[in-house]
Amino acid sequence: MAPKKKIAVMTSGGDSPGMNAAVRAVVRMSLHMGCDAFCVYEGYEGLVQGGDFIRQMQWDDVRGYLGEGGTLIGTARCMAFYERPGRLVAAKNMVLSGIDALIICGGDGSLTGADRFRAEWPSLLEELISTGHLKEEQTTPYKHLNIVGLVGSIDNDLTGTDATIGCYSALARICEMVDYVEATASSHSRAFVVEVMGRHCGWLALMAGVATGADFVFIPERPRENDWQEEMKVVVRRHRALGKRKTIVIVAEGARDNNGTKIGAEEIKDILADKSKGGLALDTRITTLGHVQRGGTAVAYDRMLATLQGVEAVKAIVRKPLMQAVAETQELAKAVDAKDFDKAMSLRDAEFADQWNSYMLTTNVMVDDEKLPERERMRIGFINVGAPAGGMNAAVRAAVAYCLSKGHEPLAIHNGFAGFARHHDDKPLGAVRPFDWLEVDGWASKGGSEIGTNRELPAESGMELIANLIEEHNFDALFIVGGFEAFHSVTQMRKARTQFPSLCIPMCLLPATISNNVPGTEYSLGSDTCLNELVNYCDKIKQSASATRRRVFVIETQGGRSGYIATLAGLDVGASAVYIPEEGISLEMLNSDVNHLKEVFRKDKGQTRAGRLILVNEKASKVYSAKLIADIIREEAHDRFESRESIPGHVQQGGVPSPMDRCRAVRLAIKCIQHLEGYGRNAHNHVKKDPKSASVIGIQGSEVVFSGVEDLEENGTDWPNRRPKTAHWMGLSETVDMLAGRPSYPVPEKSLTGLIAKDTKRGL
């Protein structure tokens, strides 16, 4: 029988939220695959010190890690590891501990050190043998060292990846602080200069600027022109002339001008506060966020990213050779220092460049130079359909800003198709109104839907009336933001084109629903906000469950007939079981899970924080509700442990949208308007022939894709269950169960439907 593989995990460099989730995933996945799991405490320092710094871990040792910030196994700067003698001692300690694989979560410096360690490994072993510190037979099983790197960095500064562990948590802290600062800035009509981290990487500064609608942003990769002082004055004056009472400037700590001269917060403040002739004379303050950006627990996305990467690391699957990515990252820093800014931008992922362009487009509102010729300008109707979702307002704001910058006329259709049909000619204000830019500019961080939304479909409002109103208002295109009802609305209008020619205008849907159940995309606006609300809620509930030791909470999640929210939340909070509509619930499944809970609590004996969570989607079963499941568990526990149900309800829609939802809303909304622009005015004949004239914008893998609604409604939609036919996230259910230690269970039989069900009941 082959000896057990021994896998060690360590965190190194600056701490970042999500590192604990990675450690938990590595430990539990290692144990699940029959390996021994170790943690190296205090980073490379622990590797050099050895002894009690390298500890074997068991399943329960990492319980509760998901909800903790920083890194519970510590990290430290280790000067000894920079020198070969230090690495020699580290190699000896690893051999003596029997470790043959190392998983490191850290930044590019930590991963560079790891690669050097791996490259020197054979020579280190030879030296240890020749100097008598180890015998040859001791080193024989460890001739090759396997190292996997997980990138933990709040800066999101590693090339070749969309996101590093911790970056979205840091962005959430920044946006939260900027939102707070905006309130006082507006009250006093002040300017604030906010300095954020990022010596060679402007990701945090740029995304914060996009998410909060900042007036000006400075990043290292795209320096401002030499006369940036005048450029900033022009932008700020223009915004103030439009009526803005606040000015927010975000600057990355590594920001420079074209000549490589550092641009500091003090210099920016002096320009904004300049009271000389021609100066802005604004009451200006500086806010340096510092290490606040690293603090707090990880947001939902970072927990998911760290967990999945930890699992993949144990499987030793790496998508990109580690050192290729690290080398490119260091190349990027050199490009910034050498003022080769085009190269620096090219080394960033496509989304970064897109977001920069989006930011610039939404900042240049009311600039005559940007406007299209009169004949190319369009009247575009904006409408929200379905339940409210985080990011709806950010999408509308960005699209309005883009339209105004190009000379288009954006018009708000208030309160969905119901408002359009019933209140279009109300006096003094009808349902169709022009946007007030000053009002819209403050929507970036607002939840809900400022122009109103509901679930009514155009067919219910009266398709003929809707078609006549579109003609009456002379709309050249429709921009729709919403969930499955919005998708259904577009399909209805597309089908009605043959009957009502006025519907032969381009229509584009930007999916926004917490359920993430719109065909044509793997991500909908609002789903990340919902996950964060649910994760925060579950963390509090789990704390209560852990404090009382022997308690199970059954939490009901929203999501319609899609189990996306329940599954992802289960992954992020470490749920013991997740029940979703795609699988259903059966007595055998419940019996298996109850027996598992009994066994867990029997072994525990009150020694650990053994609070447990079970998540159940609201439509997982017609019979087994959250209350009934909690009652069954309570009855079967025979007073050995307790169970309670908890229903967060509409809290899951969230308050302030998450930074991810805001940033993606801006990027996708602008792409939608650009897509509609491609058809131009009076495009009726073109629209009839083009299947993408009624389309859904979506993220599929790493690509932004426009999908024709006709193809989606015929081939991609499970209409009875109001969800896509294929769920990209279903494979995560297995990971959730594995990390929770859930035993295998009998999968419920699928329900029969229609005539087959009737005939079967009759015995035919």
In this structure, are residues 643 and 594 in contact, taking their beta carbons and an 8 Å threshold? no
Residue 516 assigned to a binding site = yes
Residue 647, helix vs strand vs coil: coil
- Distance separating alpha carbons of residues 122 and 422, to the nearest angstrom: 78
Residue 493 assigned to a binding site = no
| DSSP assignment of 179-236 | HHHHHHHHHHT-EEEEEE--SS--HHHHHHHHHHT-SEEE-SSSPBPTTHHHHHHHHH
Inter-axis angle of helices 19-32 and 732-740, nearest 10: 80
Residue 513 assigned to a binding site = yes
Q: Residue 346 CB: number of other CB atoms within 10 A? A: 13
Residue 155 assigned to a binding site = yes
| Nearest to 409, CA basis, from 433, 427, 391 | 433
In this structure, are residues 382 and 396 in contact, taking their beta carbons and an 8 Å threshold? yes
Residue 238 assigned to a binding site = no
Residue 455 assigned to a binding site = yes
Residue 489 assigned to a binding site = no
What is the Cβ-side half-sphere exposure of residue 450, based on CA atoms within 13 angstroms?
22
Residue 612 assigned to a binding site = no
| Nearest to 576, CA basis, from 537, 619, 615, 545 | 615
Residue 319 assigned to a binding site = no
| DSSP assignment of 550-610 | SEEEEEEE--TT--HHHHHHHHHHT-SEEE-TTT---HHHHHHHHHHHHHHHHHHTT-S--
- Distance separating alpha carbons of residues 50 and 62, to the nearest angstrom: 21
Residue 87 assigned to a binding site = no
Residue 309 assigned to a binding site = no
| Nearest to 307, CA basis, from 533, 62, 581, 597 | 62
| Nearest to 107, CA basis, from 157, 43, 61 | 157
Residue 63 assigned to a binding site = no
- Distance separating alpha carbons of residues 120 and 87, to the nearest angstrom: 9
Residue 153 assigned to a binding site = yes
Residue 222 assigned to a binding site = no
Residue 650 assigned to a binding site = yes
Residue 110 assigned to a binding site = yes
Residue 118 assigned to a binding site = no
Active site residues: 155
Q: Residue 169 CB: number of other CB atoms within 10 A? A: 25
Residue 292 assigned to a binding site = yes
Residue 324 assigned to a binding site = no
What is the Cβ-side half-sphere exposure of residue 83, based on CA atoms within 13 angstroms?
5
Residue 651 assigned to a binding site = yes
What residues form the annotated binding site for substrate?
Answer: 153-155, 190, 197-199, 253, 285, 291-294
What residues form the annotated binding site for beta-D-fructose 2,6-bisphosphate?
Answer: 455, 513-517, 551, 558-560, 618, 644, 650-653, 722
What residues form the annotated binding site for ATP?
Answer: 14, 77-78, 107-110
What residues form the annotated binding site for Mg(2+)?
Answer: 108
What residues form the annotated binding site?
Answer: 14, 77-78, 107-110, 153-155, 190, 197-199, 253, 285, 291-294, 455, 513-517, 551, 558-560, 618, 644, 650-653, 722
